[in-house]
Structure 1
Amino acid sequence: MKKLLALIAMAVIPLTAAAHGPSPQKVEKTVTIKAEPAKVWALIKDFGNMQKWHPAVASTKLETKDGDTYRLLTLKGGGTIYEKLRSADDADMKLKYEIVEGVLPVADYNSFITVKAGPGAGESTVTWVGRFYRVYKLNPPIPPGQDDESAINAVTGVYDAGLANLKKVAEGK
């Protein structure tokens, strides 16, 4: 009887492993900026003005629904991203938000940006972290552009461009 149960278990385990769906993904990027943390935090925490520091954002429109704050980012290359502010903590200089819908090939996207004192005097360290899934949640075959690599590349591109330009803006270059 034990052998029979073991054989059944071995037959079922591979099926459950293949049926798990997409794996969670994470992108984390950090930059050091030659500007005081308070100055950098002022730029980041201004949820309605991302276009001031992110080069891909043409405009930002804020709205409040049921006490929650949302922003609609209109992108220079076309398309929009609709985001919900989860929290903005001045003491920890940490902004949390999520994507409700948009053109990025991601699902269940949650992110935070932190500003901390940098390694040198008058410097800041900014860290941007996102956790998400690919947009296609079913098992293979996965349509082109809806896979893990596409999701990771898209988020990495957003973070790299944003942090590089945030550095320029905050440093006054």
Structure 2
Amino acid sequence: MIFNVAQLMKEPVGSGASYEDDIAEEQVQLDKDLTIVGPITGHARMRRVNQGLLIDGWVDLTLGLECARCLKHFEQPEHVTFEERFNPTVDVVTGTPLPPIEEDDVFPIDEHHQVDLTEAIRQAVLLAIPMVPLCKEDCAGLCAQCGHDLNLGPCDCKPEIDDRLNVLKQLLQNE
């Protein structure tokens, strides 16, 4: 997901200069804890702004996740949008180094005038992952006593009775 933006960086600010390209990556490892199944496809639009570039776009990918209720692995397609600023580290005309970027939310354009969208897309994908991934909306989960997958049917366990409710049981028997 690397693009050469030297020509775009030479354009004057406010000229409406932009560059669009498709994203197609077969095998990408965005994060060690993130499983991507299949290719990543998408589109990116790069526009010249005052300090550097504003890049926005989207990617489609399939994530391999684990259900929070039944612990089964499943695949979930995602459509993730992103928009990030990229500032140069080297002047495109003279080749002299520029002062370091002091903002946390800005990505660098390297000394070869290339933009790598991998980190921006990784962050957008991590934000798109649900906090509680479920294989299906009505996942029944696992039995708390025997661990049986309740999506396959009920188990033979008898429901646990909270010991604190025994007092109520005795009151019912006295009447």
Could you tell me the TM-score, scaled by structure 1's length? 0.31
Higher relative helix content: 1
The answer to which structure, 1 or 2, has the higher relative contact order (CA under 8 A, 6+ apart) is 1
Could you tell me the TM-score, scaled by structure 2's length? 0.30
